[in-house]
Amino acid sequence: MNIVILAAGTGKRMRSALPKVLHPLAGRPLLAHVIDTARTLEPTRLVVVIGHGADAVRTAVAAPDLQFAVQEQQLGTGHAVQQALPLLDSSVPTLVLYGDVPLTRASTLQRLCEGAGHDGYGVLTVTLDNPAGYGRIVRDAAGKVERIVEQKDATPEQQAIREINTGIVAMPTARLQAWLAALKNNNSQGEFYLTDVVEMAIDAGIDIFTAQPDDEWETLGVNSKQQLAELERIHQRNVADALLVAGVTLADPARIDVRGSLECGRDVSVDVNCVFEGRVTLADNVSIGPNCVIRNATIGAGTRVDAFTHIEGAEVGAQAVVGPYARLRPGAALADEVHIGNFVEVKNAVIGRGSKANHLSYVGDSEVGTRVNIGAGTITCNYDGANKLRTVIEDDVFVGSDTQLVAPVRVGRGATIAAGTTVWKDVAEGVLVMNDKTQTGKQGYVRPTKKKG
């Protein structure tokens, strides 16, 4: 089948310079969600109709399986589909989706397409308590669809109809050429309505098939920031429900945000206010404390991530402890049983099994062996103002507190660095290294006191 996604509209009510369909839901453009769903139906042609902000939209979603049709002026939904027509395969049906309706289930679309069949006409409808603003489904006494009337063109009796047109339709493509060319814009909005094709199909002897979604939110569109926020919450609640069904413990399903994919093993628990972005994998028995942000990361089995930890582009092994208040930046690779504590930042560094940096340290561009203890206030001075340089700390090294390791530098296996040492030369295996410093004392020292008046 062909799929056409309408995305040319302006979206004035968003009050934003960004084209409406590029506003993010769960961290990705609205349109990207629609394209994802479309792809699961394996269309032979996938066409996005763009207009308002065409270049930005094209750049944001371009992919080899996508084609774009430009609608220079937004003259209506019928006119929009007409722009896509030359790109469609006329031997298979066409499904029309909206770029600003992001949460439709693929199974719902499947049902619509199956019901419409190869030559039929299918409309996805929904019955709303408040149908204001939508096109109404007008049926005859036998319940057959007769036409769709836009709110602005509807009589008071028609306005009382609660079954509405979601806008999502499946149509026989070969007929569209003639039907769309015959559309007139002599209506209250002066637009070429795709909905007027319904009567043409009926005249051609086609019964209109209708399908309904399982949930109303599947057909909700975004026209304002309020609606965007509402759909974001619905989507996040759906994601949370899926996690709960999969056996994940969530302290509060209303306080987790997943902007990407979150894969969890068994007995994973997530405390409140955590944000997951990109691809995140949590293995069995991982527990995530409150207020963590985790982006593009893999966390090994049994690892505990404590409160307020920020992890990005990192890999953490099993049985590790990270946080509270830890920061793992891209390229951090922690082996099993590593402990990274409060106010420790790790960037582009491999840390071996059982090693610990529990307090106030920066470990960057480094290779740290196994069972290394990194004392509080240790800093790898990895930047000379122009280049990033590497620090190597071999197995079983003890790094005393307040140590600076001036890269490039290597500390040999089992070495001990005394507290307060600046290490700017390589340290041989097993030695104790310290800087020459003297400690002097001053007897009878009196601290200054505050002067009065």
Q: Is residue 98 part of an annotated ligand binding site?
A: yes
Pick the closest to residue 423 from 353, 347, 366 (CA basis).
366
Non-local (6+) Cβ contacts of 444 within 8 A are none
Residue 210 binds which entry of Ca ion, ligand UD1, none, CB below 5-8 Å type-dependent = none
Contact region with Ca ion (CB under 5 A), list: 151-159, 216-224, 314-322, 383-391: 216-224
- Which of Ca ion, ligand UD1, none sits in contact with 195, Cβ below 5 to 8 A by type? ligand UD1
Any idea what DSSP says for residue 13? G
Do residues 363 and 381 touch, judged by C-beta distance below 8 A?
no
Residue 339 bears catalytic tag: no
- Pick between residue 74 and residue 319 the one whose CB is nearest to ligand UD1: 74
Stretch that binds Ca ion, among 13-21, 202-210, 221-229, 361-369 (CB under 5 A): 221-229
Instruction: Name the residue whose CB lies closest to ligand UD1.
Output: 135
Give whichever of 75 and 231 is closer to ligand UD1, judged by the CB atom. 75
Question: Which residues of the shown chain bind ligand UD1 in the complex (CB under 6 A)?
Answer: 6-9, 49, 71, 74-77, 79-80, 98-100, 134-135, 148, 150, 164-167, 193-195, 221
Which amino acid appears at position 103 of this protein?
Answer: L
For residues 16 and 453, what is the distance between their CA atoms, to the nearest angstrom? 58
- Cα distances (Å, whole numbers) of residue 412 to 375, 415, 426, 432: 17, 6, 8, 11
- Determine if residue 7 is labeled as part of a ligand binding site: yes
Neighbour-count burial for 94-126, b at 16+ CB within 10 Å, e otherwise: bbbbbbbbbbbbeebbebbbeebeeebbbbbbb
CB 137 to ligand UD1: min, Å: 9
134 binds, among Ca ion, ligand UD1, none (CB under 5 to 8 A by kind): ligand UD1
* Residue 220 CA to its chain's centroid (Å): 19
Structure tokens at 151: 């709110």
298 is in an annotated binding site: no
Count residues near Ca ion (CB under 5 A): 1
The Cα–Cα gap between 20 and 100 comes to 7
CB of 223 to Ca ion, least distance (A): 6
Residue ranges that bind Ca ion, judged by CB under 5 A: 221
**Binding-site residue positions:** 6-9, 20, 71, 76-77, 98-100, 135, 150, 165, 223, 329, 347, 362, 373, 376, 382-383, 401, 419
Which amino acids are annotated as binding site for acetyl-CoA, given as ranges? 376, 382-383, 401, 419
Residues with a known catalytic role: 359
